[in-house]
Structure 1
Amino acid sequence: MLKQLKQIIRNIDLVTVIIIALFLFTYTSYRAYNMSFTHDESYTYTRYIHGSVMEIISYNVGPVLPNNHILNTLGMKFFESLFGSSELVLRLTNLLGYLLYMIFCILILKKLKNPFLLVTGFIILNFNPFLLDFFTLARGYGLSISMMIISIYYFLKWLESNTSKHLSLTFIFGILSVLSNFTLLNYYIAIWAVYIICLLTESIKNKIKLKKISGHLFKKNIIPLAATIILGIILYEPIRKIVKGDQLFGGEESFWENTIGSLLSSSNYFQDYGAHFYSYSYSIISIILVIALIVSITEFIKNKFYITKTPALIILLILFISAFSTIIQNYLFKNEFLTHRTALFYIPLFWLTTIFALHFLIKIKIVKFIPYLFIIFLITALSYHLWHTMSVSFTLDWKYDAQTNEMIVDLEKEVN
């Protein structure tokens, strides 16, 4: 008994994270069980899930709308065939996705080998009410983030092992993230771009001749190329139909105003934190990104320009390139900037960037108390915010659907 107690104390960080994870999973599960089905979920259920698997994948069932988040729709179809059509069952795909999200967040954070960051980093990556909404709903947004986090984990594993297995898993889960929500194409582009950057820097470090670099790159890109061809075949018809039907939407001003601004607004979740909330938030985000950039470059130089040994720079590049991808699309094709839930995947990317930068700063003895103070402030603020926004009856984007179940019960009473 004493031996077991000592083991628990030695692993108090992991035990704490598991307790927090159990609380969050219980909370999201009860919400998935208790909340009324939203009209978007109902639309997916009535118009899409009763088509065949191939009809769902090729967008040959129901109206051509981005409402058909392929992997989510297939999950709804599968679980309904097993357990029926209750709210909880139809949302089970995203609940399981949340379980995977938490597990792989823990696995990524454990790579930092810092007990304090394991606990606080987990809180930072999970204590966002807007993010939690989409692990309780039968939509593809939360599921896409789960697949993205798994993909990032295996990419970090590839940095360590340089094996085809980990590279394949990186792109398999990259594909699944896109099939959950097409806006994750921006992540897919970013992870491939970062992979190529890794190959180029390693080629230069290993003094591979310029004439041989192209052949080296092609050979090393067989797995990503094969994955992209498969993804292209799957996505050709759905994207062609969506573009033809003019079903893309978003903001027209800028990435900063539309994407970041809308994520701040949604994450605020009906709370009033004063007139300066947005200006302070923009400033904090800017400072974090600048510090993350400086830290990443410093670590890159310290590691003698081995990018594969600089995970902070890898995460930052994924964030920057996925953001730059939407800016280029707006400039070249006039595509609107991602907003609110379509931009949701930037939240965990930003926080991962922050956590990896803080990890580097903590190792600098002279200033280590500053990141510790910032982390304590941050998790206190996030905990306070989550506590005051918790609800088991509605979500932010569909609050007006909160009383649908009560309305149906009242109608049944009227009829009977």
Structure 2
Amino acid sequence: MNRKTNLLLGGIAAAFGIYVILRAWLIPITVDENSTAISHVPRSAIDTLFYNFDATPNNHILHTLLVKVLTEVFGWHPFIFRIPAMLGAFVYAWAGLLISRQISSQLWVRMFAFILLLGQPFMLEFFSLARGYSLGLGLMLAAIWQAWRFLKESRSESLLPAVIFAGLAVYANFTQMVFFVPFVALLLFCSWQASTSISSFWQNSKAAIFTLGILGGLWYTPLKRLSQHSEVQNGRAIDSFFESIRLSIQAATHGNAYLGPETDIWLSWLAVIFTLGIFAVAIWRSALVQGRFAADPRLFLIALFAGVLMTNILQVQLTHTPYLQPRFALHYWPLFALSLGTAAAWMWEHAKRWTWVFMVPILTLLLLNIVQNTNLRRTSEWWHDEFTYLVFDVLKKAQQAEGHPEPFSLDSHWLLQNSFVYHVERDPRGYNHVAKLAPWHEVRPATRQHEFYYALNQEDANPILDSYEVVLRVPNNSMMLLRRKEK
């Protein structure tokens, strides 16, 4: 790449990295992150790998193991806890940049593809949170990059790392299995196309095939145990693929009505129409090169997107499980973004003017959505944990003002307590000197047993308002901190 291309793509990647790091530093630990720390990390490595008990999709195996190693060495500072997620973000940006610069020789198309890959606010949230989704996305793109190298450069040695990266993506998040199956099938098909005989195919592919066998053996037990979990069986009961698309788009736009009250429906239909169109174009272009993906690796990207869609639909029909909710369907965004980038690249080769007509509206909406929804302190999936640090600040100031030597006793609505648990029990920054938490509890009414109560809303606070007063109303939110009145 020339210097201008390096600067522009590097600048986009740098902005992405800074945003991810700042969020990882500033956002309090969320409920699902605390579940990883309290419930999953303490398990042995064997327990984690095979789900010996409590097989749950919230235990992202590779992420849990990396956190286990890092926290044993460096402690439980939230930033350390989130390093595996940031590692996933780095791999995602690195592989995405490499693919984007190969997708077209034209700078603006490369930038279009790269901005699309990085510019989805809902997906961006997970690159700063201690969950396995970020690692899964990064490893998925790394696998796709290795497949590209295999096709473009006839590098048979790229087959094995492609399978390994794809397998690690599954270990990061088992939902990636709907990516892994069509990816490996297409990869081996491409290896067959590139071989002159069965023996040469075996010679080129045997390491990858042996690795597949090992992965299958390792996955059998955890997948069998995981398949019985209620979240896998019922998972919010999304019963149509279109509804899954609509919910993902609603999450990506954070519900903003850019095109009116039915924005999510309009954008869903546009996505469906584009997807069907790009599949049709890919079939036509594939026929021109006798179906050989090596002639144009971009065909592999479209075939992979189609394969993942079909695998997901077949899996739902055969296993009677629901379609994916937005955070489980994150892997669709990079595949869709690469399809948009491929469409722009193909258009540029034949009709440059129409390429701008295609790219400008998409980029305009994308950038508007980024400006509207990027922030440094909030996660839409776990919105209720945004103000944990603010509550600690109020308690700390009260301690200092009153010369209170002991931590205040603090209770909260059940939904809000997990974030506090992490920061009091794990965080090394001394929050255990500020607050002493009520024992963890399920759903129950507020009690009068503690000095402070953090309420989810007015209804939660009402039963104890005769004995407590409001000392903090969270800005632009329903949550409030109550303090017991002095007698």
Structure 1 residue 233: deviation in Å? 2.5
2:328 to 304, 320, 342: 342
Distance 1:20 1:245, change over 3 A: closer
Q: Deviations over 1:145-199 (max 9, x none)?
A: 1000000000011112333320001000001100000010111101122124435
Aligned position for 2:20: 28
Aligned position for 1:105: 96
Matched, 1:120 2:112: yes
> How far apart are the structure 2 equivalents of 1:316 and 1:51?
40
> How far apart are the structure 2 equivalents of 1:81 and 1:123?
37
What SS is found at the alignment partner of 2:157?
A: helix
The answer (yes or no) to whether the contact 2:159–2:205 under 8 Å persists in 1 is no
Aligned position for 2:66: 75
Q: Deviations over 1:324-366 (max 9, x none)?
A: 11211222221221121001000101111121122111100xx
Aligned position for 2:481: none
> How far apart are the structure 2 equivalents of 1:374 and 1:245?
43
TM-score normalised to the size of structure 1? 0.89
> How far apart are the structure 2 equivalents of 1:291 and 1:245?
37
TM-score normalised to the size of structure 2? 0.76
Superposed counterparts of 1:349-368, under 5 Å: 349-364=335-350, 367-368=351-352
Aligned position for 2:254: 269
Aligned position for 1:407: 391
> How far apart are the structure 2 equivalents of 1:343 and 1:106?
22
Structure 1 residue 200: deviation in Å? 5.5
Superposed counterparts of 1:282-321, under 5 Å: 282-321=268-307
Aligned position for 2:424: none
Superposed counterparts of 1:220-231, under 5 Å: 221-231=205-215
Matched, 1:386 2:378: no
The 10-residue stretch of structure 1 (374-383 or 101-110) with the greater mean CA deviation from structure 2: 374-383
The 10-residue stretch of structure 1 (92-101 or 295-304) with the greater mean CA deviation from structure 2: 295-304
Q: Deviations over 1:246-268 (max 9, x none)?
A: 3404344222222x122111101
Paired amino acid for 1:233: G
> How far apart are the structure 2 equivalents of 1:255 and 1:201?
33
The answer (yes or no) to whether the contact 2:36–2:59 under 8 Å persists in 1 is yes
Matched, 1:130 2:114: no
What SS is found at the alignment partner of 2:98?
A: helix
2:5 to 13, 16, 29: 13
Aligned position for 2:30: 38
Structure 1 residue 41: deviation in Å? 0.3
The 10-residue stretch of structure 1 (136-145 or 292-301) with the greater mean CA deviation from structure 2: 292-301
The answer (yes or no) to whether the contact 2:179–2:308 under 8 Å persists in 1 is yes
1:234 to 215, 218, 233: 218
> How far apart are the structure 1 equivalents of 2:112 and 2:32?
34
Distance 1:252 1:377, change over 3 A: closer
> How far apart are the structure 2 equivalents of 1:385 and 1:167?
37
Distance 1:320 1:276, change over 3 A: same
Q: Rg larger in 1 or in 2?
A: 2
Structure richer in strand, relative to its length: 2
Q: Identify which of structures 1 and 2 has the higher relative contact order when contacts are C-alpha pairs closer than 8 Å and 6+ apart.
A: 1
The answer (yes or no) to whether the contact 2:110–2:341 under 8 Å persists in 1 is no
Structure richer in helix, relative to its length: 1
Alpha-carbon RMSD:
2.2
2:48 to 56, 59, 68: 56
Aligned position for 2:174: 182
Q: Percent identity?
A: 25
Superposed counterparts of 1:132-281, under 5 Å: 132-199=124-191, 221-248=205-232, 249-250=234-235, 251-258=237-244, 260-273=245-258, 274-281=260-267
5+ residue gaps, structure 1: 1-6
Paired amino acid for 1:102: A
> How far apart are the structure 2 equivalents of 1:270 and 1:297?
34
> How far apart are the structure 2 equivalents of 1:252 and 1:48?
27
Paired amino acid for 2:74: F
2:86 to 87, 91, 95: 95
Q: Deviations over 1:39-84 (max 9, x none)?
A: 10001101111222222212236x3321110111112112212321
